[in-house]
Amino acid sequence: MDIMHADEPSADAPTNASAADRARPAKTAAEVLATPAQFLAGVGPKRVDLLERLDLRTAKDVIFNFPRDYQDLTDVRPIAELEEGKLLSVVATVEDIDSRVSANGRTVVGVLFSQSGQYLRAMWFNMPFMRDHFARGQSVLLSGQPKYAGGRWEMVHPRVQYVEADDDDAPRGKVLPVYSLTEGLNQSQMRNIARGALDQCVDVLDEVFPAEYLAEHNLWPIRRALSQVHFPDDRASLEQARRRFVYQELFVLQLALAVKRRRTRDDGHAPPLEASAKIDARIRRLLPFELTAGQRRVIDEIAADMAGARPMNRLLQGDVGSGKTAVAVYAMLVAVAHGHQAVLMAPTEVLARQHFATVSQLLAGSQVRVALVTGSVPSAPRAESERRIAAGEIDLVVGTQAIVRGELEFAKLGLAVIDEQHKFGVRQRAMLRQAGGDPHYLVMTATPIPRTLAMTVFGDLDVSTLREQPPNRQPVHTYLVGAEQREKWWDFYRRKLGEGRQGYVITPLVEESAEMEAMSVQQAYEALANGELEAFKLAVVHGRMNAEEKHAAMDAFRAGDTQVLVATSVVEVGVDVPNATLMTIEDAERFGLAQLHQLRGRIRRGKYPAYCGIIAEPKTDESKSRLDALVGSDDGFELAEVDFRLRGPGDMLGTRQHGLPPLMIADMHRDTAILEEARRDAKAMIDADPALALPEHLLLRRMVLARYGHSLDLGDVG
């Protein structure tokens, strides 16, 4: 674990700690830290194996094994002294456990606790598994807001921590560490081992930050911080100690991202493509509408990047329907105006075709040569297009990502636009093959990225945000439709179809396989065609249909020949049929929030008000919150933040999923303020010392490389 401490400080490494506060051990710091676990106080041959199971092999492993939690015994009270309206803790014994199902279908688990003849009842709603968390006679630390009801104290959803019977090292009025354990090793043994290792090592630790830096940024020195993160004097010290490590962890990440970002910028050479006033006027004349202020702003950001010789590496995020395509077309035409090629890559065939139709229509009166390359274009014309692209006889290419990445060779590519990419990580942004220089890159996403993620896993991209919708956009009225309202909803849906509108019915993708998908959509279709929607013309789209069948179905829908399209969520996001203003989403609790919002975005594009019926019987609080958020907000950015919060704390989404090592101590929800601070500070440091070459930054530089050198492909910084 090289994240919190720089290994092997060599002779050239400056020590920021002053000589005076440094005990001079006979061994070097590195030797002391490398002490095998078996030589630590409180560890015998048997415990060595147990520690090994926890990946704790050396003294250093043990001291950087941060507590996963704390028991705050500073405000533990006897039950008799509880007060309402305060967050308090109680240590009590489990007497009895019961669980029942209430009239409205909620499970209630109740646990009765006792302490010196006093009783307290704790309750959990809709968490049936809590029943199995307790055994009679067990000692538990409960923290929550007590309430006096029916002659007895109660706590709803208190936090529970188990207290060991032999836990007599717990002097009241202390904040105690809680470590991850393994069978055979208990909490107080682990605490003793940690304490022993700390006593042995803490004085040899080297500080990675210069002393003035610590002072200026309100950070505790590592020795004090490490002692206090394990055995804090009180809550305030714990916060300060934790802050030091959270800051360090996020700062090192931000340094790595800042280095990466500078690198991507400085290394490549792209053609400078300036949007001169003349080019700007020409492009705007082609567009069938006035650009919104938001579109103008992001176009300015993009144009500024493209005018430079460093490859643009920009993410454009904008809610569904916010008009990203026009922005992309603008940028592509700037490239074309300079005699370069541009490519627009869509994730699916249907979207590629739609973009191609939009672009061809816009450019009908111009001399721009456009080609479509997808899997369903017959091989002869496709080979011809590929040849012309390679020969520079095509200016603007629209295609699917798979084909463009795999097979195309460009003569003079100036700009690549990647549309609707949801799940792309720092490492996955594949580059296009091209002889000579790099193109500029613009990635567009309709799933807004929560701010913290934009600052971390996407921190090496420049981000442009399109927040507002084009004018005269209709809101989507969204309803949560429970079992009792189904009939009413379908009545309404039929009435609107009768008025000439069109609609979608979306069924969830239950199974992974295309066969199962096809079957479930087909079933839904049959049921509707013989039931709720029998008076209307329905069509179905699913993954087992070939491209021709899909296009035929989409074209018929676009032309108004069919009134309702039955499909799963896999069917293209971003399909644009202005007359389609109705949507029913079946089994909506199976969908993620972002996905539901995306789906709903398809009916927001017309001149009529849109209505979305979310058919669901949410069974957990979380899915209820998700659906409530969807009904309550039509803003993708707001929903992205809600979703991010609902998905729980910590690292998760964040780093690992995007190919970065997990965060050990920082929590993306809780530590956003420190994150912003670390980001600002890291940027300032890299601006001043781009390669972290100054002697006082050597340890930081080493830490950045040890942690992110591989995942961010930093090679050797500098």
- CA R_g for the chain: 30
Between 59 and 326, CB nearer to ligand ADP:
326
What is the smallest separation between the CB atom of 671 and ligand ADP, expressed in angstroms?
A: 32
Q: Which of 110, 128, 470, 709 binds ligand ADP (CB under 6 A)?
A: 470
Segment near ligand ADP (CB under 6 A); pick from 86-94, 322-330, 638-646, 659-667: 322-330
Site residue total, Mg ion (CB under 5 A): 1
326 binds ligand ADP per the rule CB under 6 A: yes
636 binds ligand ADP per the rule CB under 6 A: no
What is the smallest separation between the CB atom of 342 and ligand ADP, expressed in angstroms?
A: 16
What is the smallest separation between the CB atom of 444 and Mg ion, expressed in angstroms?
A: 7
Query: Which single residue is written with the structure tokens 């609790």?
Result: 589
Query: Which single residue is written with the structure tokens 């590592």?
Result: 222
Query: Which single residue is written with the structure tokens 């390359």?
Result: 373
564-568/175-178 β-pairing: unpaired
292 binds ligand ADP per the rule CB under 6 A: yes
347 binds ligand ADP per the rule CB under 6 A: no
289 binds ligand ADP per the rule CB under 6 A: yes
325 binds ligand ADP per the rule CB under 6 A: yes
445 binds ligand ADP per the rule CB under 6 A: no
Nearest to 270, CA basis, from 306, 316, 314, 299 = 306
Contacts to ligand ADP from residues 587-606, by CB under 6 A: 605
Tokens of 119: 């009783």
What is the smallest separation between the CB atom of 284 and ligand ADP, expressed in angstroms?
A: 11
Between 150 and 471, CB nearer to Mg ion:
471
Q: Which of 291, 346, 389, 426 binds ligand ADP (CB under 6 A)?
A: 291
347 binds Mg ion per the rule CB under 5 A: no
Nearest to 116, CA basis, from 135, 91, 140, 88 = 91
Give me the phi and psi of 424, to 5 degrees please. Answer: -120, 140
CA dihedral defined by 678, 681, 687, 692, rounded to 10 degrees? Answer: -70
370-373/341-346 β-pairing: unpaired
448 binds ligand ADP per the rule CB under 6 A: no
Is 342 within 8 Å of 336 (Cβ atoms)?
A: yes
What is the smallest separation between the CB atom of 291 and ligand ADP, expressed in angstroms?
A: 5
Between 461 and 686, CB nearer to ligand ADP:
461
For 586-646, give the DSSP string.
TTGGGS-HHHHHHHHHTTSSSSS-EEEEEE----SHHHHHHHHHHHH---HHHHHHHHHHH
Tokens of 12: 């050239």
Between 33 and 334, CB nearer to ligand ADP:
334
Segment near ligand ADP (CB under 6 A); pick from 13-21, 186-194, 290-298, 710-718: 290-298
Residue 339 contacts by C-beta under 8 Å, 6 or more apart in sequence? Answer: 412
Q: Which of 195, 223, 314, 324 binds ligand ADP (CB under 6 A)?
A: 324
Segment near Mg ion (CB under 5 A); pick from 189-197, 270-278, 568-576, 584-592: 568-576
323 binds Mg ion per the rule CB under 5 A: no
* Residue closest to Mg ion (Cβ): 574
Tokens of 534: 């029998």
Q: Which of 158, 321, 636, 654 binds ligand ADP (CB under 6 A)?
A: 321
Whole-number Cα distances in Å, 89 to 159, 175, 617: 9, 12, 36
User: What's the CA gap between 362 and 340, in Å, rounded?
Assistant: 19
Q: Which of 65, 228, 322, 581 binds ligand ADP (CB under 6 A)?
A: 322
Tell me the CB-side half-sphere exposure of residue 98, using CA atoms within 13 A: 7
320 binds ligand ADP per the rule CB under 6 A: yes
Whole-number Cα distances in Å, 541 to 41, 475, 555, 568: 67, 26, 12, 8
Is 389 within 8 Å of 371 (Cβ atoms)?
A: yes
Specify burial of residue 423 (Cβ count, 10 A radius: 0-12, 13-18, 19+).
Answer: exposed
Q: Which of 177, 268, 311, 323 binds ligand ADP (CB under 6 A)?
A: 323
DSSP H or E run through 318:
strand 313-318
574 binds Mg ion per the rule CB under 5 A: yes
345 binds ligand ADP per the rule CB under 6 A: no
Residue 35 contacts by C-beta under 8 Å, 6 or more apart in sequence? Answer: 58, 59, 200, 201
What is the smallest separation between the CB atom of 419 and Mg ion, expressed in angstroms?
A: 6
What is the smallest separation between the CB atom of 606 and ligand ADP, expressed in angstroms?
A: 9
Residue 652 contacts by C-beta under 8 Å, 6 or more apart in sequence? Answer: none
Q: Per DSSP, what are the bridge partners of residue 149?
A: 152
Segment near Mg ion (CB under 5 A); pick from 469-477, 567-575, 652-660, 705-713: 567-575
What is the smallest separation between the CB atom of 194 and Mg ion, expressed in angstroms?
A: 53
Q: Which does 416 bind (CB under 5 to 8 A by kind): Mg ion, ligand ADP, none?
A: none
Tokens of 577: 């049929």
What is the smallest separation between the CB atom of 573 and ligand ADP, expressed in angstroms?
A: 8
Residue 79 contacts by C-beta under 8 Å, 6 or more apart in sequence? Answer: 90, 92, 115, 116, 118, 119, 120, 153
End-to-end CA distance of the chain: 24
Site residue total, ligand ADP (CB under 6 A): 19
What is the smallest separation between the CB atom of 322 and Mg ion, expressed in angstroms?
A: 9
Q: Which does 392 bind (CB under 5 to 8 A by kind): Mg ion, ligand ADP, none?
A: none
Q: Which does 208 bind (CB under 5 to 8 A by kind): ligand ADP, Mg ion, none?
A: none
**Residues binding ligand ADP (CB under 6 A):** 289-292, 295, 318, 320-326, 446, 470-471, 574, 576, 605
**Residues binding Mg ion (CB under 5 A):** 574
